[in-house]
Amino acid sequence: MKKINFASDNYAGVHPTILQALNAANEGDCAAYGNDRWTLEAIEKFKEHFGSSSEVFFVSTGTAANVLGLSTYLSSYQAVIAAETSHISSDECGAFENYTGSKIIPVKTGTGKLTVDLIASCLTDKGNVHRVQPAVVSLSQPTELGTLYSLTELKEITAYAHQNGLSVHMDGARLCNAAAALNVSLGSVTRECGIDVLSFGGTKNGMLGGEAVVFFDTSRELPFNFIRKQGMQLSSKMRFVSAQFTALLSNDLWLKNALHANALAHLLKEQLEPVQEISLAYPTQTNALFARIDNEIVIKNLLDTYAFYIWDHDGMEVRWMTSFSTTHEQVLDFSQEIKKQIVLFNKSF
Amino acid sequence: MKKINFASDNYAGVHPTILQALNAANEGDCAAYGNDRWTLEAIEKFKEHFGSSSEVFFVSTGTAANVLGLSTYLSSYQAVIAAETSHISSDECGAFENYTGSKIIPVKTGTGKLTVDLIASCLTDKGNVHRVQPAVVSLSQPTELGTLYSLTELKEITAYAHQNGLSVHMDGARLCNAAAALNVSLGSVTRECGIDVLSFGGTKNGMLGGEAVVFFDTSRELPFNFIRKQGMQLSSKMRFVSAQFTALLSNDLWLKNALHANALAHLLKEQLEPVQEISLAYPTQTNALFARIDNEIVIKNLLDTYAFYIWDHDGMEVRWMTSFSTTHEQVLDFSQEIKKQIVLFNKSF
Amino acid sequence: MKKINFASDNYAGVHPTILQALNAANEGDCAAYGNDRWTLEAIEKFKEHFGSSSEVFFVSTGTAANVLGLSTYLSSYQAVIAAETSHISSDECGAFENYTGSKIIPVKTGTGKLTVDLIASCLTDKGNVHRVQPAVVSLSQPTELGTLYSLTELKEITAYAHQNGLSVHMDGARLCNAAAALNVSLGSVTRECGIDVLSFGGTKNGMLGGEAVVFFDTSRELPFNFIRKQGMQLSSKMRFVSAQFTALLSNDLWLKNALHANALAHLLKEQLEPVQEISLAYPTQTNALFARIDNEIVIKNLLDTYAFYIWDHDGMEVRWMTSFSTTHEQVLDFSQEIKKQIVLFNKSF
Amino acid sequence: MKKINFASDNYAGVHPTILQALNAANEGDCAAYGNDRWTLEAIEKFKEHFGSSSEVFFVSTGTAANVLGLSTYLSSYQAVIAAETSHISSDECGAFENYTGSKIIPVKTGTGKLTVDLIASCLTDKGNVHRVQPAVVSLSQPTELGTLYSLTELKEITAYAHQNGLSVHMDGARLCNAAAALNVSLGSVTRECGIDVLSFGGTKNGMLGGEAVVFFDTSRELPFNFIRKQGMQLSSKMRFVSAQFTALLSNDLWLKNALHANALAHLLKEQLEPVQEISLAYPTQTNALFARIDNEIVIKNLLDTYAFYIWDHDGMEVRWMTSFSTTHEQVLDFSQEIKKQIVLFNKSF
């Protein structure tokens, strides 16, 4: 029996509209490496959402978007301030350090969110030649714990960062979920909040594969074309990535997919809130629940039928994630099953 | 007017059979990062062609396949011996040096092919602490000039390399064209010739996007899963790459596509052979012609209607390349146009 | 007025015996890059102390010894477990990450010392392709906080590390101080405790300049000659480094210098123990005191005449360090001055 | 029997005046890492010779000076144009590539010297995203073949480079020999010729050890303090390097040593010119002769008593090098012995 996915939004397939757009791009031969009309069109779409002066580059993975985007803001002796739980620090197998040779300063946070105070605590060694020098703040929006920065929080952080000579990167692997949850446009939560460079994720919101590096700060000369090629990320048949992005960013598809995923996470939360054996580790603000069950047997039994990740090392906290493809019925079935397993366990004692 | 493509086989779209397989893989949710049945199936297909002990990993670009594959065979003070014209040396924007920190020893060759003597000339500084130490020979099959190593040549080189403690990498971005031209199996021209690690290209032979790193030498522990992730090349929805490979490697599609491309290059060659104003720079063995015209006006006029690359810096040598999607008619039209432009030019004087 | 040094043992000059040996090596021409009799002699001295199968290489800085030594034990996707306060993590301006491209896992500790439990807590993600894989434990002996591992603690850690496939590096920039304090030989606290590779410091114990990388685990082929050259650390006139090491390691000079420095730190501690306004942050086990004064004015006044480091970011904790060149009188004068400044401050209120 | 050194100027010991200055710097404790009066004094000396706006940093090896100096002028996708025979390309075990991740474009030259035409031939791929982008020209003065650029040649190259957006680095490991041979000041052959950054060598001209990176182009913010520390090259007891430089650059010692070495190379040349069995491969312009003997037996016999390098791979070309410590008598004896061995060989047939 195939397991039902509550593991990750990247377990989902491709949204039909996006797949259709990809198929439509298979129209004879055209120039490679992004010199094609689909790519031009997709870049225009990005500019509609993110502002006309944005510079946009497509890459194949979120790790590549983060690492290559950050690399343009760093000399080797400089460092990135990021939450300890950030993807760049914890989930990319050291890609950042390996590629840039720079250091991440991992900051302990309660809910995956940096604050001005936490950032300030990393700036005490300015000019000390024995210490790496922070040059970039990297924020995940939403965080890897599903939490959100408010627009006010973002603006406070970017203002402080810029005053202190730091650039600000946003890891937006699930930016659509964040914007949908905050009920704002994609530009509002990025450019308008003072972000300098964004990793924009398409794969987790219904694309087959494709991420974008978006530069808002275009005051500097941007050699990112070279960086992308050297970074092994220049796709020859780029039109098939670009066509997906155009579909995602047209007719509010990005928003519909994200709203759907978010809504189902909230539905799951509502179903489980009455269950006293379950406590949620963080506020459910986007499309993930982090639930503490403290019951290995229940977790094990659930894993027979459902796919999801054990999140902490003691094995008692789990992550349940929804996507554009999750159904209402799956959520209801899953919450029923969770409750059932808990009851069964309680009865057995 | 859209130009007719004789620029590159990566200007082509996706072969319909492959696109169909990709679409078929969009079947609900499944585990990410290659833990899915399509990836298992594709790996089995590779083993059918390349031997059951092969280890196979999919990445997104040829540059990534080359760089990450090579990196597993190198310490930082070691070097790769490669033709000066090789893709890793000349066409990947320094990705190899940037990622591995190692050095390529570029070897001048007449036709893009290394020989035992040329390799031997790079081994004179063994043990000299001031010099990088060659550890790998990298061969392109076919070469970037469209030429081929015979099986005998490959075996001589790999035997010599192994005797001298060198591993052998093959850049097979167009390996299908080579095997088709040599009328041998994919395994014959790689594993059976003593190759240790292969970059196998799918994109240039009809795939949307996807390359494979294939290890034949599996005596060593292979941490390539980590290297791929750290190398920013672990695709989350990998099934859509895998399904393409399965299609390419089934029912001789790889061979049919390659034979087609090769045949049309030969057709073009036949058409142009009588033209005394054109000389071919290298033997036409696969799907590319390198033609010296020595006439800027003719070249410029042809570029109005046809897409192709100027190959040398004096602007007089061009590369004409065919693909699975090139048609018989396109070749005949193109050769007619070339002849016409030459006649026009001659008349005007 | 020149300030009296309680800042660092690297503020000291060169011990006269060592300087004499350096001068004596200026005896005509000889082969460069370590192929000289002084280097052979120094290597033999190391083998006397560290065991005859040791492999020894001289470099110019402690950072180089740490980074290049560690690099031989790491693939790019692997990581080093080290205390957050370790020199490699906090005081080398990211040299490790920049040179190796690998990651340090910084561990919070109370006193700069790792434990088996702390190490174990870093091993929970073995085989997880998204996470770097710990391969080396790095211990500082003494720690950057002046504390010591006992031989028993070292043996427990190395046994646990080896059982778990980890190698063990020791940052011994002040190893002489540690061995002197523990009243054991240099070999006892390193090789005999299961250390695999050691950074041995000469500069902080009376040399002009010179550090050594010592490999105890010589089961593997050691390409360190190449790594040192490539690491920009192969000194051409190496004899002048080697001659210093021979002097340091002869006639117990290493021990005398270290005992002297340690004794004076203890003298300072004794003098200040009765002062209730001062609390020591860590046990004084080698040649450094970390004192919390909680009085900015006293600290500022002391800095008029004495050189020392403010250690924490709130400005209330200081490091006072002694060296082979510190005198009994300087310590007594300094402790008098500290007491005087505290009394003066108290009176002013 | 100890061999007489004609191998390298780094086989020499330390000039007595320099050693005396080093000893004199052992005057109590002082601040580490270059915050001492000897370092200030040495930097002033450099400014006297190289211009008051120069920025000067000391490192331990010529490789470090080259690599770290170059690294400040390069992004990863950029490249250095250098002669194939340059030290950075051929004699530093790939340190440049390993540290910077960038590429050297090795240029074939007759005599180790780049020209405007040779540089121009490397600039044909500007803006091509598949190719590294040249950003720096590196010149060795004198070259590794003992030849010299005239001031006119240098000015032509730097003018061309700057017009084309390239910076110019000079590897001056033996710059003193060059300036002495050209009968110009150190500033004339560097700053006044438009050089942007210089590796200035002290070790080969009588120092114990020490090289300097000198920036003439100080329009940019210079983070070299961090780069040096991160590059593992920040010496704690820097005063002992600095004091050597002050001695070398005072009272024309740099010039006397260099003139001496150069004169003895010319003496050797004069002695051997009449010998028809010997041909010199390059003009003898500084302190090295590259002699082709074409007689393995003579070479082998000479190596019994004299130290020198076989230079080419066929074993028939040798390098004979003089230094500040070479004596007039040694040169006469050596030339006698060479002639004697040739006569002996001729007789034996």
| Chain D CB contacts of A128 below 8 Å | none
| Chain C CB contacts of D203 below 8 Å | 236-237
Cα separation of B46 and B186, whole Å?
A: 10
Residue D138 bridge partners (DSSP): D82, D169
Q: Kindly tell me the sign of the dihedral angle through the C-alpha atoms of C124, C129, C131, C137.
A: positive
pLDDT average, residue stretch D89-95: 97
Beta carbons of B93 and D124 less than 8 Å apart: no
Cα separation of B308 and B319, whole Å?
A: 6
Cα separation of B96 and D233, whole Å?
A: 26
Alpha-carbon torsion angle C249, C255, C261, C263, nearest 10: 180
pLDDT digits (tens, 9 = 90+) for C80-134: 999 999 999 999 999 999 999 999 999 999 999 999 999 999 999 999 999 999 9
Q: Which of D2, D20, D57, D232 to mutate to test the interface with C (most CBs of C within 10 A)?
A: D232
Flag whether residue C220 sits within 8 Å of chain B, measured between CB atoms: no
Beta carbons of D237 and C61 less than 8 Å apart: no
Chain A residue with Cα closest to B37: A2
| Chain C CB contacts of B33 below 8 Å | 129
Cα separation of A255 and C230, whole Å?
A: 52
pLDDT digits (tens, 9 = 90+) for D139-176: 999 999 999 999 999 999 999 999 999 999 999 999 99
| Chain B CB contacts of D130 below 8 Å | 90-93
- Take residue C72 and report the two structure tokens written for it: 């031989």
Of A25, A31, A209, the CB nearest to B237: A209
Flag whether residue C92 sits within 8 Å of chain D, measured between CB atoms: yes
Contact A267, A289 (CB under 8 A): no
Would you state the pLDDT for residue B1? Answer: 58
Cα separation of B325 and B261, whole Å?
A: 8
pLDDT digits (tens, 9 = 90+) for C136-173: 999 999 999 999 999 999 999 999 999 999 999 999 99
Least Cα separation, residue C127 to chain B (angstroms): 9
Q: Within a 10 A sphere around the Cβ of A52, how many other Cβ atoms?
A: 8
| Chain A CB contacts of B322 below 8 Å | none
pLDDT digits (tens, 9 = 90+) for D205-253: 999 999 999 999 877 777 999 999 999 999 999 999 999 999 999 999 9
| Chain D CB contacts of C11 below 8 Å | 29-32
Flag whether residue B70 sits within 8 Å of chain D, measured between CB atoms: no
| Chain A CB contacts of B223 below 8 Å | none
The residue whose two tokens read 């029997």 is: D1
Beta carbons of A132 and C94 less than 8 Å apart: yes
Cα separation of B103 and B278, whole Å?
A: 38
Alpha-carbon torsion angle B286, B287, B292, B298, nearest 10: 160
Beta carbons of D77 and A129 less than 8 Å apart: no
DSSP C10: T
Interface of C with B in 132-151 (CB under 8 A): 132-133
pLDDT average, residue stretch C26-52: 97
The residue whose two tokens read 């069995």 is: D277
Interface of C with D in 93-132 (CB under 8 A): 93-95, 98-99
pLDDT digits (tens, 9 = 90+) for C222-281: 799 999 999 999 999 999 999 999 999 999 999 999 999 999 999 999 999 999 999 999
Peptide bond connecting D274 to the previous residue in cis, omega within 30 degrees of 0: no
Cα separation of D164 and D178, whole Å?
A: 27
Q: Kindly tell me the sign of the dihedral angle through the C-alpha atoms of D69, D74, D76, D81.
A: negative
Cα separation of A141 and A149, whole Å?
A: 7
Of D94, D121, D129, the CB nearest to B132: D94
Beta-strand pair D309-310/D317-321: antiparallel
- Residue C340, SS3 per DSSP: helix
The residue whose two tokens read 């946003």 is: A170
Which are the contacts of A205, defined by CB distance < 8 A and separation ≥ 6?
A: A9, A174, A176, A177, A248, A254, A257, A258, A261, A324
- Residue D86, SS3 per DSSP: coil
Query: How far, in whole angstroms, is CA C122 from its chain's centroid?
Result: 24
Beta carbons of B75 and C223 less than 8 Å apart: yes
Beta carbons of A75 and D129 less than 8 Å apart: no
Flag whether residue B1 sits within 8 Å of chain A, measured between CB atoms: no
- Take residue B55 and report the two structure tokens written for it: 């280890």
Q: What is the ipTM of this complex?
A: 0.97
Flag whether residue B31 sits within 8 Å of chain C, measured between CB atoms: no
- Take residue B174 and report the two structure tokens written for it: 């167009």
Flag whether residue A173 sits within 8 Å of chain C, measured between CB atoms: no
Contact D200, D212 (CB under 8 A): yes
- Residue A2, SS3 per DSSP: coil
Cα separation of C180 and A169, whole Å?
A: 49
Cα separation of A235 and A243, whole Å?
A: 13
DSSP of C106-141, one letter per residue?
A: EE--SSS---HHHHHTT-TTTT-TTS-EEEEEEEES
Mean pLDDT across chain C: 96
Q: Within a 10 A sphere around the Cβ of A347, how many other Cβ atoms?
A: 7
- Take residue D210 and report the two structure tokens written for it: 């020490």
DSSP C33: T
D15-248: CATH number: 3.40.640.10
Would you state the pLDDT for residue A205? Answer: 98
Would you state the pLDDT for residue C163? Answer: 98
The residue whose two tokens read 């006297």 is: D48
Which are the contacts of C187, defined by CB distance < 8 A and separation ≥ 6?
A: C49, C50, C51
Spans of all domains in chain A:
4-10+253-347, 15-248
Of D93, D131, D313, the CB nearest to B129: D93
**Helix or strand run (H / E) with residue A334:** helix A328-347
Q: Is A82 left (phi over 0), alpha (psi -120 to 50) or beta?
A: beta
Of A26, A226, A235, the CB nearest to B13: A26
Counting every residue, how long is chain A? 349
pLDDT digits (tens, 9 = 90+) for C309-347: 999 877 789 999 999 999 999 999 999 999 999 999 998
DSSP A164: T
Beta carbons of C132 and A93 less than 8 Å apart: yes
Q: Kindly tell me the sign of the dihedral angle through the C-alpha atoms of D173, D174, D178, D180.
A: positive
Beta carbons of D97 and B97 less than 8 Å apart: yes
Of D91, D102, D313, the CB nearest to B97: D102
DSSP of C263-312, one letter per residue?
A: HHHHHHHHHHTT-TT-EESS---SSEEEEE---HHHHHHHHHHEE-EE-S
pLDDT digits (tens, 9 = 90+) for B34-60: 999 999 999 999 999 999 999 999 999
Flag whether residue B12 sits within 8 Å of chain A, measured between CB atoms: yes
The pLDDT tens digits along chain B (349 residues) read 589 999 999 999 999 999 999 999 999 999 999 999 999 999 999 999 999 999 999 999 999 999 999 999 999 999 999 999 999 999 999 999 999 999 999 999 999 999 999 999 999 999 999 999 999 999 999 999 999 999 999 999 999 999 999 999 999 999 999 999 999 999 999 999 999 999 999 999 999 999 999 999 877 777 999 999 999 999 999 999 999 999 999 999 999 999 999 999 999 999 999 999 999 999 999 999 999 998 999 999 999 999 999 998 777 899 999 999 999 999 999 999 999 999 999 988 7
Buried/exposed A194-216: b ≥16 CB within 10 Å, e otherwise = bbbbbbbbbbbbbbbbbbbbbbb
Of D13, D25, D203, the CB nearest to C26: D13
Counting every residue, how long is chain B? 349
pLDDT of D1 higher than 70: no
Q: Which of A213, A131, D67, B226 is nearest to C97 (CA)?
A: A131
Q: Which of A126, A129, A220 to mutate to test the interface with D (most CBs of D within 10 A)?
A: A129
- Take residue D110 and report the two structure tokens written for it: 């007759």
Cα separation of B308 and B338, whole Å?
A: 13
Which are the contacts of A155, defined by CB distance < 8 A and separation ≥ 6?
A: A193, A194
pLDDT of D313 higher than 80: no
| Chain C CB contacts of B238 below 8 Å | none
- Residue D276, SS3 per DSSP: coil
What's the burial of D345, exposed, middle or buried (CB within 10 Å: 0-12/13-18/19+)? middle
Beta carbons of D97 and B101 less than 8 Å apart: yes
Peptide bond connecting D283 to the previous residue in cis, omega within 30 degrees of 0: no
Cα separation of A236 and B95, whole Å?
A: 16
Would you state the pLDDT for residue A314? Answer: 79
Helix pair A328-347, A296-305: axis angle to 10 deg: 140
- Terminal CA-CA length for chain C: 29
Would you state the pLDDT for residue D294? Answer: 84
- Residue A259, SS3 per DSSP: helix
Least Cα separation, residue A312 to chain C (angstroms): 10
pLDDT grade, residue C308 (50/70/90)? very high
Q: Within a 10 A sphere around the Cβ of D280, how many other Cβ atoms?
A: 15
A4-10+253-347: CATH number: 3.90.1150.10
Helix pair A239-248, A16-24: axis angle to 10 deg: 140
DSSP of B269-335, one letter per residue?
A: HHHHTT-TT-EESS---SSEEEEE---HHHHHHHHTTEE-EE-STTS-EEEEE--TT--HHHHHHHH
Helices (H), C9-94: 16-24, 37-50, 62-71, 87-90
Of C94, C102, C130, the CB nearest to A92: C130
Beta-strand pair A167-172/A197-201: parallel
Which CA distances in Å does A15 have to A22, A322, B29, D61? 11, 14, 11, 59
Flag whether residue A313 sits within 8 Å of chain C, measured between CB atoms: yes
Contact A106, C106 (CB under 8 A): yes
DSSP C196: S
- Take residue A248 and report the two structure tokens written for it: 């995602």
Alpha-carbon torsion angle D141, D144, D147, D149, nearest 10: -30
Q: Which of C35, C67, C68, C76 to mutate to test the interface with B (most CBs of B within 10 A)?
A: C76
Of C94, C124, C131, the CB nearest to A102: C94
Flag whether residue D26 sits within 8 Å of chain A, measured between CB atoms: no
Cα separation of A62 and A328, whole Å?
A: 28
Beta carbons of A227 and D77 less than 8 Å apart: yes
Q: Which chains touch B (3 or more CB pairs under 8 A)?
A: A, C, D
Chain B residue with Cα closest to A32: B11
Would you state the pLDDT for residue B231? Answer: 98
Mean pLDDT across chain D: 96
Chain B residue with Cα closest to D120: B313
Cα separation of A25 and A34, whole Å?
A: 13
Least Cα separation, residue D25 to chain A (angstroms): 24
Beta carbons of D223 and A101 less than 8 Å apart: no
Contact D40, D56 (CB under 8 A): no
Flag whether residue C234 sits within 8 Å of chain B, measured between CB atoms: yes
Low-confidence ranges of chain A (pLDDT < 50): none
Q: Kindly tell me the sign of the dihedral angle through the C-alpha atoms of B203, B206, B208, B210.
A: negative
Would you state the pLDDT for residue B84? Answer: 97
Would you state the pLDDT for residue B16? Answer: 98
